[in-house]
Structure 1
């Protein structure tokens, strides 16, 4: 079993912190970055939407610049006008990768533990020349709290390595390479034909969900940067590193000022773990279809009550089985 291990660690790669107007969450995320003292820090903030925003934003910018207490390069991109979530974040990431070959990216509500930085450092180096690997995630749905997704205990117990390769790119704390981000496609020119080239769906329901999601984005109904990142990875048949243990807490959920999630979220009570190193690596770079199917059902798909009840029964049987197996 993994236990929390808190040892000093110095980050090897540059870190990009994306923020807007939430001082409390930004301060907490920055405190975690400060613990690992990255050699280069990039601060990117969108401009204000109105007068009330301006004072909040100026306070955050002043705080960040005044509290970098370790020796490092400081790069800033403080916008005067408001671009919105999609353009402000995507252009900031492009700015970051115009200076860095690889690096770590955190938004102002994604609270990492120390293990996250070492996890990213080691895997950025290990896969830097593998074009198929396009992203490293620090967030894991395999760590759902038992009362919400008990079945994941079975999936988690079956994974012997510290991560697997997934088609899904969870962006609550992540890392990547400039070579991968160079494939980022922000807009669709011919949506229907561009969607047709995707052939990585395991079910009709999954295909339908993503068709509707990408279509809504293409029609301008969703102001976000991450769906086109998902599409770009799938278009190029890329894979993402998905950790067995969750290392990120989203501290921006269930708030009135949340960008996309201001109602009660099932992700708000997930645990986070410090890892035990050295990491156990998969033997092959290939998609884990079974775990991706579980991830889709848990994260993206709303299931009927009978399916949830059956999943809980199966999970309890799985727990009993594994307990007895360990006792033998």
Structure 2
């Protein structure tokens, strides 16, 4: 089995980084894998001490397989992550990506590498996600992974052959708006995705992931998700820049050892799981109503949706 290099992105959360690293370094295959740690620079003087402390933690592990890249200026999560992925994929043909709040299971690396190996040559599969949201999986579904039109950015991997399609072209919004069929493909992944793209282009949020999600859809790609999550996000405690306190995404990570994975015989998404995933991403009835209204009357109700969607 080929071992993909690991890219870990950290900023100023020492405790989150410590927990993530403690689990990662005990994963089978870690010591044989290359680790790249990207440390973003402080955004302001008040972050200097926490940034410095986090970097000291990274160096304290004295790992022989690590390359540490420390930015002097603050790139922000989106630019830091995209630049780091590009850096690694210039050297390697695949990658596993973690942020400082993505706590991995003990078989995370094994799961990711088996999937990256299995679908290496299949252009339809563009992403492997380690996190799986707490959705209902049918009792008669006997496989260990499922195919999704939506990827998760918490502990994921891809190949150079797929990442070449990553683009931040704002013109993609006009392409979606001009095609009913493309719009349906985007909405199939969750009604929130179109709104996120629009807000990203308008500068209301800072997300690299929304572009990757849209790029996968635009190229008729699929993501792999585990039935049992290999990642627990520990950043929904109000400490992160992009994650507020929220327990909706809490999961129990896999405790079983992974030696083999039961893959579906055909690359066909299960419509029951697709709907369950989409409903979870869209949110409750109030949010669904807001997203539907936003798609139709966005410029008139944007200020209200931005406020009310946070309440519900």
**TM more than 0.5:** yes
d(CA) in 2 for partners of 1:195, 1:14: 38
Give yes or no for contact 1:200–1:234 (8 Å, CA) kept in 2: no
Matches within 5 A, 1:78-157: 78-141=70-133, 144=134, 152=136, 155-157=137-139
SS at match of 1:230: helix
Corresponding residue to 1:169 among 136, 145, 151: 151
Alpha-carbon shift at residue 291 of structure 1 (Å): 0.6
Find out whether 1:237 has 2:220 as its counterpart: yes
* CA distance 1:298–1:190, shift in 2 (3 Å): closer
Structure 1 stretches of 5 or more lacking a match? 1-9, 305-328
Alpha-carbon shift at residue 29 of structure 1 (Å): 0.7
Structure 2 stretches of 5 or more lacking a match? 287-312
SS at match of 1:106: strand
* CA distance 1:52–1:101, shift in 2 (3 Å): same
CA RMSD across the alignment: 2.4
Match of 1:24 in 2: 15
d(CA) in 1 for partners of 2:228, 2:177: 32
d(CA) in 2 for partners of 1:207, 1:231: 11
d(CA) in 2 for partners of 1:89, 1:24: 20
Matches within 5 A, 1:1-328: 12-36=3-27, 37-69=31-63, 71-72=64-65, 74-141=66-133, 144=134, 152=136, 155-189=137-171, 191-196=173-178, 199=182, 201=184, 209-255=192-238, 257-268=239-250, 270-275=251-256, 276-303=258-285
* CA distance 1:239–1:207, shift in 2 (3 Å): closer
Aligned residues: 282
d(CA) in 1 for partners of 2:285, 2:217: 24
d(CA) in 1 for partners of 2:145, 2:128: 10
d(CA) in 1 for partners of 2:186, 2:140: 23
d(CA) in 1 for partners of 2:115, 2:215: 21
d(CA) in 2 for partners of 1:38, 1:64: 18
d(CA) in 2 for partners of 1:99, 1:243: 27
d(CA) in 2 for partners of 1:64, 1:210: 34
Give yes or no for contact 1:14–1:38 (8 Å, CA) kept in 2: no
Deviation digits for residues 225-251 of structure 1, max 9, x if unmatched? Answer: 100010110111111001111111111
Deviation digits for residues 59-80 of structure 1, max 9, x if unmatched? Answer: 22222122034x42x3232111
